[in-house]
Amino acid sequence: LPLLVLSTASPYKFPVAVYASLTGRTLNDDFEALGALSHYTGTTIPSPIASLHTLPVRFQGTVDKADMKKMVLAG
């Protein structure tokens, strides 16, 4: 049975890039870009994304690209 599945990412997952591509203006803050994108497009920010600014940061660490494989394999 043939089946076609389509999926797209929400523009609100990448608000800085999407806003810049639509307006030619660059914003450096994701939360500022969320509001600007919502205003520009007349769409509502999905509630799980809109609530991110009120949640605690879960992960503080970073890994250099060169160390990524080692980090993943270390589990």
Domain assignment present for 65? no
Number of domains in the chain: 1
- What pLDDT sits at residue 4? 72
> Which band of pLDDT confidence, cut at 50, 70 and 90, is reported for residue 3?
confident
Neighbours of 12 (CB within 10 A): 20
Domain assignment present for 40? yes
Domain assignment present for 68? no
- What pLDDT sits at residue 7? 66
Residue 32 is encoded by which pair of tokens? 């500022």
Domain assignment present for 3? no
Domain assignment present for 70? no
Domain assignment present for 30? yes
**Across the chain, what does the average pLDDT equal?**
92
- Distance in angstroms (rounded) separating the CA atoms of residues 13 and 36: 14
Reported as a single tens digit per residue, the pLDDT across 30-55 is: 999 999 999 999 999 999 999 999 99
Domain assignment present for 74? no
Structural domain boundaries, residue 36: 8-54
- Quote the pTM value: 0.70
Domain assignment present for 35? yes
